[in-house]
Amino acid sequence: MIVILILWITFGFLSFGILGLNFLAMKRTASRPWRLKVDKKYMPKVSIIVPTYNESYVIRFKLENLAKIDYPSKFMQIIIVDSNSSDSTVSIATKFAEQHPNLNVRILAENERKGKTASLNLALRECVGDVVVVSDADCFLPSDILSKSLPFLSDVNVGAISGSKLLLNSQQSWVTKTENTYLNAVNLVKIGESKTGSTLLFEGGFSAYKRVLLDAFDPYNTGSDDCGTLIEFAVKGSRALSVPEAVFYTVFPITWKEKINVKIRRSNQLMRVLFRYASLFSERRLRGSRSAVIKAIFTYIVAPVAFIGFAISTIFLFIQLPYFVLVFLIFILPTIRSYSFESIQNYIILLLSMVSVVFNKRFMTWKQPADRLLLTEDMLRQHSLI
């Protein structure tokens, strides 16, 4: 029995304890000043890529949002790259471009749907900016995002930046409320990681890359156009930062089923990215982000595996020590209920993703979920996004 109790404590610490300590450490680090050489007057030419596939419901909002960005038009190029949509996405975008000749909008329409990464790489060949920005069609940017965030790229050691996701419908259901809490924690951790080195987690809502370092999106074919793209930056020894000035807004599914679908697709991509990092790390090919890679492997691979041991040892304790169950239900569970539910859910998804990657299972990475219809014009106007 003593052995089982020791195993339970050990697996519990590996599953939850270290992650909790890391969160507290990164939360503290996130409040510290940056150690960067930032030129606040840095104003590079920017190419903004918006990949689309059947985005007729949101593309007008997206273009209105980009038109509102406070940045010299002569320094900004907008590329809409469409992956053979079957709706009116291209015609709506074309009409908008004709109505706004002051904006440098270019529309690329593929004749065959090849996937998001292929679309981004097609657009990359047409980019004229010193900085390439990617922003998904259902994500909306504050008007000052470029002027506030791009100066971070003036530091010679920084190659890419991303920002924090904020939910327009954060209070719409218990699903969005819990996701909002989760995102707040993740955003703090990413900022803390960035201030100590690099983060490996980027968002498709807003990510910006120095063109000279960006040879291709997802060059290692991980299926992740954002996180996968950063691998080459780590190989080259260039830092990737999550900066609080680069926030963007979007909506999130209100049902648990749709939330799980989103997380399964995302975690499958993440696992492929981490396996590639692990391979490059073992080959000593990473010039940067090594500490971030070690921590990510522990967080997203070791901790979920340790959770299996924690779950098994918990069952044995419940069987052998009935009073332990009572103490757990009365004193422990109420204090960790919300945190433990989200963590256990994520661990199960990560474990399933590991299995799917081992068997080379890929999920559909570019389809439009039902959350697009949750977006309203009032939401965007309320946050001055259009």
Taking the domains of the chain in order of start, what are their residue ranges?
A: 25-289+375-382
Q: What's residue 5's pLDDT?
A: 80
User: Has residue 336 got a pLDDT over 60?
Assistant: no
Confidence of residue 334 (pLDDT cuts 50, 70, 90): low
**pLDDT per residue over 349-383, tens digit each?**
999 888 888 877 776 555 555 678 889 999 999 99
User: Has residue 164 got a pLDDT over 70?
Assistant: yes
Contact (CB, 8 A) for 229 and 171? no
What's the CA gap between 263 and 250, in Å, rounded?
Answer: 16
Alpha helices, DSSP H only, in the chain? Answer: 2-12, 18-30, 59-67, 89-99, 116-124, 145-149, 174-196, 230-236, 256-282, 290-297, 303-320, 322-327, 333-358, 377-382
H, E, C per residue of 161-217: EECCEEECCCCCCHHHHHHHHHHHHHHHHHHHHHHHCCCCCCCCCCEEEEHHHCCCC
Q: What's residue 63's pLDDT?
A: 97
**80 pairs with which residues across the strands?**
50, 107
The gap between the terminal CA atoms of the chain, to the nearest Å, is 62
Point out the least confidently predicted range of 8-22, 34-48, 121-135, 327-341. Answer: 327-341
**pLDDT per residue over 268-280, tens digit each?**
999 999 999 999 9
What's the CA gap between 347 and 369, in Å, rounded?
Answer: 23
Q: Which CATH architecture has domain 25-289+375-382?
A: Alpha-Beta Complex (3.90)
Q: In degrees to the nearest 10, what's the CA dihedral of 51, 54, 58, 63?
A: 40
User: Has residue 209 got a pLDDT over 80?
Assistant: yes
Q: DSSP letters along 145-161, please?
A: HHHHHGGGGGSTTEEEE
| Token couple for 53 | 């596939």
Amino acid letter, 75: F
Pairing of β 105-109 and β 131-134: unpaired
- Which residues have CB under 8 Å from 210's CB, separation 6+? 130, 131, 153, 159, 160, 238
Nearest to 10 by CA among 297, 300, 301, 313: 313
**How much is the average pLDDT of 231-250?**
96
User: Has residue 326 got a pLDDT over 80?
Assistant: no
> How many other C-beta atoms can be found within 10 angstroms of the C-beta atom of residue 35?
8
What's the CA gap between 198 and 293, in Å, rounded?
Answer: 9
Q: Which residue has the higher pLDDT, 321 or 296?
A: 296
> How many other C-beta atoms can be found within 10 angstroms of the C-beta atom of residue 99?
10
What's the CA gap between 157 and 38, in Å, rounded?
Answer: 11
Give the global pTM: 0.91
Q: What's residue 6's pLDDT?
A: 87
